[in-house]
Amino acid sequence: MLRDESGDFCYLCSPEERLAEAKKYKCRTELTLVGTLSGFPIYDLYYRFNPEDGADTKAILVKVAPDQYREIYRRHPTQNDARVVPSRFVRVGNDQFLEAQYFVGGKAGSMFEYFWFDTTGATLVDFRPVITAAQLALPAERIVDWYSDDDKAMPGSHYLWRYPRPLTTFVGLINSKNNQERGGTILVAFKFDHGRVVPTKTTYDPLGRQPE
């Protein structure tokens, strides 16, 4: 509770008051081994604050040494129908990734994040090159339709691609003269190179179709 990403917990409290309030919350934990990548054991850690099925906090821990763990992911659902989903491994060609899914709730759908591992540990896959490639291929009077400002701040958090779709994703566009008018999509084909996203081709589709 003291980590409080939203800033709403014990608003305007002193550090002492925040600590006292945090201690009032009852919590149980649940630790699950997801598996091992590049020699690193990976665990899902859930903090269960609710006696019934509801919003819970999830962290992903990577064991980096005896009795030492690195937290690479954390999500605290912000509304009652939001859900954190168990992590899993996915293979794309010769690469294997750790997939973390967070169902945002409402009509927003799910947010996926991917981690690539080598002998140095975990690297968050950065999908911003997809946006950069789309911006370079923009037709006249079209701009990229950002889902939210958060997408710019969190390069690994995205709605753009998820396994097992082919390595083609889409970027929605809007008409720069009328922000309410849809402006088609740009399809971006890409490949992975040691966990890096490398765009290989862009195609403008005025009908706004998405990869199947």
Per-residue tens of pLDDT for the chain, all 212 residues: 777 666 667 888 888 888 888 888 777 889 999 999 999 999 999 988 765 555 578 999 999 999 999 999 998 877 777 888 899 999 888 889 999 988 877 766 778 889 999 999 999 998 888 888 888 888 887 877 654 444 443 455 555 566 556 687 777 777 776 666 677 888 888 889 988 999 999 988 888 777 66
pLDDT at 179: 65
Residue 59 lies in a domain: yes
Are 200 and 179 members of one domain?
yes
Residue 178 lies in a domain: yes
**Which residue range(s) make up the domain with 78?**
27-124
Q: What is the DSSP string of the chain?
A: --S-TTS-TTTT--HHHHHHHHTT---EEEEEEEEEETTEEEEEEEEE--SSS---EEEEEEEEETTEEEEEEEE---STT-EEEEEEEEEETTEEEEEEEEE-STTS-EEEEEEEEETTEEEE---HHHHHHHHHTPPTTEEE--S-THHHH-TT-BSS--TTS-SEEEEEEEETTEEEEEEEEEEEEEEEETTEEEEEEEEEETT-----
One-letter amino acid for residue 155 of the chain? P
pTM beyond 0.85: the answer is: no
pLDDT at 5: 63
48-85: buried (b, 16+ CB within 10 Å) or exposed (e) per residue?
Answer: eeeeeeebbbbbbbbbeeeeebeebbbbbbeeeebbbe
Residue 81 lies in a domain: yes
| Structural domain total, the chain | 2
Are 108 and 137 members of one domain?
no
pLDDT at 161: 65
